Structure 1
Amino acid sequence: MNKRRDIEFKTRDGLTLRGWLFVPEGDGTRFPAISMSHGFAAVKEHGLAPFAEAFADAGFVVLVHDHRNFGASDGLPRQDIDPWVQVNDWRCAISWLETRPEVDADRIGIWGSSYSGGHALVLGATDRRLKCVVSQVPTISGYEQGRRRVSPDALPAFEQLQLDDLRARHRGESPRMPAVVSGNPAELAAYRAPDSVAFYTQALPEGAWSNTVTLRSTFAARMYEPGIWAERISPTPLLMIVATHDGVTMTDLELQAYERALQPKRLKLIPGGHFDPYGASLDEARLAATACFLEHLVH
């Protein structure tokens, strides 16, 4: 069993981020630790507790935080994503975790999934405080994902929409707020596939999540290329968990990034699509991650 409590910490610009801290039962010794966060426009309540609880039961202190502008964390405009700001905020989460009396600061790992799986690659390559990186169904190339998900016929109008939004923001107008998910083809949305809709709209505590995201978040996502950092993570150990039929972050892009990564590395293929690590393949995904953390953080 483990204890979960609500926590908060400050970013470099003084913003308050909030999340959960899971502490394993123990005799007061310092534990190895894992820092976790979620993907594009998601919050910690979107299926992260089963992973964090498994890690804590295995003897790790686990920090799970909401990105700025989302969930319990502060920040304006709400529902707005800048990937590089999220990466920098995550460094603050790691710094906060280092200060905890329960934590052995020399044994900290990182776990990210989807968009934050891309962040984990960046952080693993640039922050040597991290001794182990687990990147689950990660974003590899915003350009390639966007190219595949928006048809050539629709691309000019979509790009014009984004430019019009940028000009409107420069004039001080409110950001355009499409849906995160929608099955209605007439509604502007980031994701439309049934598994995406089911994942994001699962039952959550009231007020935990809003089905909106700024349009400029998609503009920023299309320029984000975290996969280029994969070969720079070494000598930090890397585990990539890849779904065999990932139509969101694209299985082939993930496998190509894994091939570029240097040793030590390990690949875990799990059956299903992008969201199956949180559902049908949950046990496989969290067992693989737990084994990786035990191997590289417990000594």
Structure 2
Amino acid sequence: MKAVVWSLTGLLLVTAGLGAVVIWQNSYNIREERVTIRQGGDALDGVLATPKEGRGPYGLVVFVHGDGPVDATHDTFYRPLWESFARAGYASLSMNKPGVGGSAGNWLDQSMEDRADETMAAISWARKRPDIDSRRIGLWGASQAGWVLPKVAARTPGLKFVIAVSPAVNWQQQGRYNLLAQLREDGASAEQVDAALRRRETTLQLLRRGASFEEYRTEVGDAQGMTADRWRFVSKNYTADATADLRAIRGTPVLLILAGHDINVDVADTETVYRKLLPGPGPGLQVEHYPDATHSLVKHGVEQSEVRVTLTALFAPRALFAAGFLADQRRFLHHVDDDSKGGTA
């Protein structure tokens, strides 16, 4: 009986210790405030994360999400970034997508124009707050945000910077690259690749003639996860291309972040286009490569294992990201601030 008691006591102590580690590792040196912004008659809720030290006014990083039903914290994935930006004297603003959390609407009803309008509304809201320095507001966005960030930057006078993480340039080129890369990773045969490309071409033809979801399902057969809402979203956005908007933001400091294990976006093509359209170095374009990172900038070895992802997220969430990812963005913000003061980067 004594042995059982001591064993249970030891188990409880270990469990309590592990719980304490999880709480400690998932505590961040930021203050979080729930906020609501009105856009187009709808209310979007989200989070304003500010540094714990000081009372501002702080610079601001406005987050623009990638694809999917993303909440304000991206299932807590953003918090290490918010903490890192806070160390540079910046607050972070991130909203639940429409239809997510308490935000009204449906994100699948949005075009990239709608997403840009939503982001501009968030900037306008932030500029009215006394704890935000309206001269030091910039954008952070990942993946699908690549079509939103340049659009917002081109239309927003005085925007301080853009941080673009794994962005694509052309929707259709990105889709083809992603399809082929995924097929290679899955070990698809030549026949399977040909069939997938034929299916893709049929889909594009249907999109070009404005076909309904019912027509798509009839023509293609197995919808493979496509829904009526998703078909409507793709129909609105499949012609998206960031080229013209990128040309319009020359002179805005841009940090382009690219991963070495990205099967979603052709990073070589993205870098070529950004370097062609945006001047650098100096106050223009800065490019950072992370050879060991995936599309989400998580370490490749970690993302390959569900067990490692789960344990790292619980016990060391800041270690999810590729080495240097957080520090390089913080350094970029310091350089942007130094340049605006007439200092040297």
Matching residue of 1:173: none
What residue is the counterpart of 2:279 in the other structure?
262
State how far apart, in whole Å, the 2-side matches of 1:253 and 1:221 are.
Answer: 20
Aligned to 1:102: 131
Check the 8 A contact 1:34/1:63 in 2, yes or no: yes
Residue matched to 2:336: 296
Give the direction of change, closer, same or farther, for the CA distance of 1:81–1:139 in structure 2 (3 Å limit). Answer: farther
Cα pair distance change 1:276/1:31, threshold 3 Å: closer
Instruction: Determine if the alignment matches structure 1 residue 4 to structure 2 residue 49.
Output: no
Task: Give the deviation of 1:52 after TM superposition.
Answer: 1.6
Shift in alpha-carbon separation, 1:118–1:297, aligned structure 2, 3 A: farther
Output the TM-score relative to the length of structure 2. 0.68
Separation in structure 1 between the aligned mates of residue 149 and residue 264 of structure 2, nearest angstrom: 17
1:73-92 equivalence runs, <5 A: 73-76=103-106, 79-92=108-121
Question: How far off its partner does 1:245 sit?
Answer: 3.1
Aligned equivalents of 1:168 and 1:215: distance in 2? Answer: 6
Aligned match for 2:200, one of 142, 146, 155: 155
Q: How does 1:162-201 map to 2 (within 5 A)?
A: 162=207, 166-167=211-212, 188-189=224-225
Alpha-carbon distance between aligned partners in 2 of 1:62 and 1:254, rounded to the nearest angstrom: 26
**Corresponding residue for residue 208 of structure 1:** none
The aligned amino acid for 1:24 is P
Q: For the structure 1 residues 285 and 277, does the alpha-carbon distance in structure 2 shift closer, same or farther, using more than 3 Å as the test?
A: farther
| Distance change (3 Å), C-alpha of 1:189 and 1:149 | farther
Q: Which has the higher contact order (CA 8 A, sep 6+)?
A: 1
1:111 is aligned to 140
After TM superposition, give the deviation of residue 10 of structure 1 in Å.
0.8
Per-residue CA shift, 1:30-63, capped at 9, x if unaligned?
Answer: 1111111210114132422221222123321110
Q: Distance in 2 between matches of 1:89 and 1:103?
A: 19
Matched residue type, 1:66: N
> Which structure 2 residue ranges, 5 or more long, are not aligned?
1-28, 180-195, 304-319
Instruction: Note if contact 2:177-2:264 (Cα within 8 Å) is conserved in structure 1.
Output: no
1:163-208 CA deviation, whole Å, 9 max, x = no partner?
Answer: 7985469xxxxxx9xxxxxxxxx66247xxxxxxxxxxxxxxxxxx
Counterparts in 2 of 1:237 and 1:121: CA distance versus 1, 3 Å: same
Aligned to 1:195: none
Provide closer, same or farther for how the CA distance between residues 277 and 219 of structure 1 changes in structure 2, counting only shifts above 3 A: farther
Of 93-102 and 279-288, the range deviating more from structure 2: 279-288
Q: Please tell me whether the aligned partners of residues 32 and 297 of structure 1 are also in contact (alpha carbons under 8 angstroms).
A: no
More moved, 145-154 vs 247-256? 145-154
Paired-residue identity, % = 21
User: Is the CA contact (8 Å cut-off) linking 2:262 and 2:295 kept in structure 1?
Assistant: yes
Q: Name the structure with the higher helix share.
A: 2
Name the aligned partner's letter for residue 31 of structure 2.
Answer: K
1:16 is aligned, of 40, 43, 55, to 43
Q: Note the C-alpha offset of 1:9.
A: 0.6
Give the distance between the partners of 2:175 and 2:54, measured in 1 at CA.
50
Aligned-pair CA distance for 1:156: 4.2
Please say which structure displays the higher CA radius of gyration. Answer: 2
Amino acid at match of 1:51: L
Shift of 1:121: 2.2
In structure 2, relative to structure 1, the CA distance for the partners of 1:228 and 1:249 (3 Å cut) is: farther
Determine the C-alpha separation between the residues in 2 that align with 1:213 and 1:56: 37
CA contact (8 A) 2:153 2:159 kept: yes
- 2:37 is matched by which residue type in structure 1? F
**For this pair of structures, how many residues does the alignment match?**
264
Q: 1:276 aligns with which of 275, 287, 297?
A: 297
Matches of 2:241 and 2:92, distance apart in 1: 27
Instruction: Assess if the C-alpha contact under 8 Å between 1:17 and 1:73 holds in 2.
Output: yes
Query: Which position in structure 2 is the counterpart of 1:30?
Result: 57
Secondary structure in 1 matching 2:255? strand
Structure 1 residues 72 and 297, CA gap change in structure 2 (3 angstroms): farther
In the TM superposition, 1:233-272 aligns within 5 A as 233-260=249-276, 261-263=278-280, 264-271=284-291, 272=293
Question: Does the 8 A contact of 1:109 with 1:297 survive in 2?
Answer: no
Indicate if the aligned counterparts of 1:31 and 1:103 stay in contact, CA closer than 8 A.
yes
Instruction: Tell me the equivalent position of 1:203.
Output: none
User: How far apart are 1:262 and its partner, in Å?
Assistant: 1.7
The normalised TM-score by structure 1 is: 0.77
Q: Distance between the aligned counterparts of 1:108 and 1:212, measured in 2? A: 37
Separation of aligned partners in 2, 1:235 and 1:221:
27
Rounded Cα–Cα distance in structure 2 between residues aligned with 1:69 and 1:163 = 28
Counterpart check, 1:63 vs 2:99: no
Distance in 2, matches of 1:114 and 1:49, equals 18
